[in-house]
Every structure is written in structure tokens, then in C-alpha cells.
């Protein structure tokens, strides 16, 4: 029997997740018999039998099965209730909370692993106000802005966190490009951040990994790391500011992507190791998702997005930039293009009926 791959998209502890069995791996003849149990799904046709199990802790409610059908180009679709324990309270822990005062940390280039800052201990790890804080002060104060000439620059023992970056005192570290203020990795020449003053460097969270000095550096695939950082960023901002629409802007001030966060509690379940993985719908592929055995599960966020390169969706992008309900996120321009490529690859891996919602494209990014 030919192996087949399942794709399950569902919010935690809620009903009606969608199970999709791609048509290329579906049964060779009809009619087919679909059997649903609490721990998996089985499909029989003629003399062939295909089965897929769910991971421990995830259970289906067979009596709730509905919407069974076969969509041309997609394969077999069915919906049913899903039972799963709620996620841990710290599942989406704030990035800044992972950096503690009074501990020694090493900072690495995420792309090549070259060490950037070694054995740095901070006395203070503090969040920065939002980027438009100065304008808000002027709105609320009945006298001239007392902070108009103030700058929030860290001292040597400080680390300040923004939405997509952190600020460090440059100390003796020097990765500044001779041509401009871009801060680059000396080994792989990847942009890491920007020099914002004579003694302050802005490092983007998508470019740098930090960890306690006593731990050895363990590389993470670039795509996996980038997806995780962006997903955590969207989660933190949507929770703190009730914001669900974002513009992804490069360091050249151009808008590259519009993102609309739909679900932040999505669970992805995918059967791995099948011969079908090299053909048809593959949610992430080996380069995008870490292997976790015969059945993989990932916590993910579901987003809608629109590309804005080469003047695409310019009117919508202009409208979003002028909308106070949309939050801007700034990254290196090269990183914006990386993210756009990952979004497109993931969308193309989905069954055709799940690739679009209205004029937006659909994307699942694991955390």
C-alpha cells in the first residue's frame, strides 16, 4: 500500500479541525471506507489500507465527523472535534524574558554561528516604549515634551528590548561596515543590525541568538529560526496591544509584506517519513520543520498575508500604513525577502482549496 501524509490544522481544545488526505496518495479506486477512531483515521479501498495515528494526548471525537468529501486537486477532506490538553501558560513566553539580569550571555550570528558578544552580564534588562511614544507624550502633556531631547541608550550593563530588536552598548565590539551604519557579521557578511549612535548597536531578533555562556552553541536551521521569531513577535504584540494586522518593513523603509494574524493557538499534526513527502503537499519539508518521529506536532500561528514587492498591493499597503490599528515591524530588507520566500513555499505546500482566503494567501508558521 502506498504511504500517505496527513495534514491537521486545528485550534487547541476546539472543534472541527480539518484533516486533509492528499489525492496523490489517496486510494487507487472508489468506493472507499473511512474509519475514524479516537487515536487516528483509516481508509480502505479494494485490497489496500492506509492508516495514520495521532500523537499522544491528541484525541478525535468520531461521532462528530462531518463534511466528508473528495475535492478535485485536494484529496479527502473531513472535519471532526478535537480534544487536546490546553497549552502550558508559558508556551509563548516573551523573548525578552529569556534574557535575565545577573547572568552571563554569549551572542552569536544566527546564520553562521560566529560569536558577536562574549560573556556579557547585564544589570538591567528593560523593555523600550513603543516607537511612537514621543508623539503620545505630546498628546497627553499640557506642556512641552520633557523628553524631547532625551535618548534611551543603554549603558554597558544594560540591554533594552524593542519589538523586533534589542539595544546593546557597543563596548569593544566592532562589526560596523565602513560604508554605512549597517552592522555586519565579520565571517558571513550577514546584516546583524544598525549602529544607532557612537556607542549603541541595534541587533535584530531575527539575526542574532543569545544563550547563557556556560552552554555550547547549537545551530538552528535558518528557516525554522526565522519562522519562530516572527511568530513569537506577532503573538507578543497581539496579546499586549490587541493588534492583529502588521506591516513588515525593511531597513530601507519599504513595505514588503502585509500580515493579518488569524489564530495563535493552531496545532499542526503531520505524518512523517512517507514516500509521498517528495511529491504533492508537504507542509514544511525537512528544511523547514524539525523531525520528531513518525508523527510530528507543532504549535503554530495561522496568518493571512499579501506580498508588496514590485508595487504589488500598493493601495492596500498605503492604507495599512496610515491605519493606527496596524503595527509596523522593521527587519533587515534581506530578512523580509527570506520571510516572503518562506511564506510562498508554505502556501504552495497547502492543498489548493486552503491556499487563499478572499484576496489573501494563507500561511501556518510554527513556534
Specify the domain boundaries for CATH 2.170.150 within the chain: 95-212
Residue 260 pLDDT class (50, 70, 90 cuts):
very high
pTM: 0.79
- The model's pLDDT over 12-24, given as tens digits with 9 standing for 90+, comes to 344 456 777 665 4
Calpha distance 70→177 (Å, rounded) = 56
Cα-flanking dihedrals φ and ψ of residue 339, to 5°?
Answer: -65, -40
User: What pLDDT, on a 0 to 100 scale, did the predictor assign at position 6?
Assistant: 39
Which is nearest to 222 in space by CA: 175, 182, 253, 190? Answer: 190
Question: CA 273 → CA 35, 95, 128, 194, 286, distances in Å?
Answer: 22, 32, 45, 42, 10
- Residues in Cβ contact with 29 at an 8 Å cutoff, skipping those fewer than 6 apart: 45, 46
Of 2.170.150, 1.10.3470, 1.10.540, 1.20.120, which CATH number belongs to 95-212?
2.170.150
- Tracing cell 508623539 back to the chain, one arrives at 135
Calpha distance 293→282 (Å, rounded) = 16
Calpha distance 210→109 (Å, rounded) = 9
- The model's pLDDT over 52-71, given as tens digits with 9 standing for 90+, comes to 777 777 888 888 888 787 77
- The model's pLDDT over 337-352, given as tens digits with 9 standing for 90+, comes to 999 999 888 887 777 7
User: What pLDDT, on a 0 to 100 scale, did the predictor assign at position 252?
Assistant: 92
pLDDT, mean of residues 273-279: 38
Half-sphere exposure of residue 96: CA atoms within 13 angstroms, side-chain side: 18
Contact, 254 vs 333, CB < 8 A?
yes
- Tracing cell 515634551 back to the chain, one arrives at 145
Calpha distance 204→206 (Å, rounded) = 5
Amino acid at each position: 500500500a502506498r504511504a500517505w501524509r496527513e495534514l491537521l490544522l486545528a485550534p487547541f481544545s476546539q472543534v472541527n479541525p480539518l484533516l486533509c488526505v492528499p489525492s496523490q496518495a489517496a486510494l487507487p479506486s472508489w468506493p472507499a471506507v473511512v474509519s475514524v477512531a479516537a487515536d487516528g483515521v483509516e481508509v480502505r479501498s479494494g485490497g489496500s489500507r492506509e492508516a495514520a495515528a495521532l500523537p499522544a494526548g491528541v484525541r478525535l471525537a468520531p461521532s462528530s465527523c462531518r463534511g466528508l468529501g473528495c475535492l478535485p486537486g485536494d484529496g479527502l477532506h473531513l472535519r471532526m472535534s478535537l480534544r487536546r490538553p490546553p497549552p502550558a501558560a508559558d508556551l509563548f513566553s516573551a523573548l525578552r524574558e529569556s534574557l535575565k539580569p545577573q547572568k552571563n550571555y554569549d551572542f552569536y550570528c544566527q546564520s553562521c554561528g560566529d560569536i558577536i558578544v562574549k560573556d556579557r552580564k547585564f544589570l538591567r534588562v528593560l523593555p523600550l516604549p513603543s516607537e511612537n511614544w514621543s508623539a503620545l507624550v505630546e498628546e497627553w502633556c499640557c506642556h512641552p515634551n520633557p523628553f524631547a531631547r532625551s535618548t534611551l541608550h543603554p549603558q554597558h550593563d544594560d540591554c533594552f528590548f524593542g519589538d523586533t530588536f534589542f539595544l546593546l552598548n557597543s563596548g569593544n565590539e566592532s562589526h560596523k561596515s565602513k560604508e554605512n551604519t549597517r552592522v555586519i557579521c565579520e565571517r558571513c557578511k550577514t546584516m546583524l543590525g544598525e549602529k544607532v549612535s557612537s556607542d549603541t548597536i541595534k541587533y535584530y531578533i531575527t539575526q542574532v541568538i543569545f544563550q547563557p555562556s556556560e552552554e555550547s552553541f547549537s545551530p538552528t536551521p535558518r528557516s525554522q529560526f526565522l519562522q519562530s521569531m516572527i511568530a513569537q513577535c506577532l503573538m507578543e504584540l497581539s496579546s499586549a496591544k490587541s493588534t492583529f494586522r502588521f506591516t513588515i518593513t525593511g531597513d530601507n523603509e519599504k513595505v514588503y509584506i502585509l500580515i493579518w494574524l488569524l489564530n495563535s493557538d493552531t496545532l499542526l499534526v503531520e505524518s512523517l517519513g512517507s514516500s509521498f513527502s517528495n511529491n504533492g503537499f508537504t507542509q514544511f519539508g525537512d528544511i523547514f520543520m524539525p523531525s520528531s518521529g513518525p508523527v510530528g506536532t507543532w504549535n503554530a500561528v495561522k496568518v493571512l498575508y499579501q506580498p508588496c514587492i514590485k508595487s504589488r498591493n500598493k493601495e492596500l499597503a498605503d492604507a495599512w500604513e496610515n491605519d493606527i490599528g496596524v503595527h509596523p515591524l522593521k527587519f533587515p530588507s534581506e530578512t523580509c525577502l527570506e520571510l516572503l520566500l518562506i511564506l510562498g513555499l508554505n502556501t504552495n505546500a497547502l492543498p489548493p482549496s486552503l491556499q487563499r482566503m478572499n484576496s489573501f494567501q494563507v500561511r501556518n508558521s510554527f513556534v
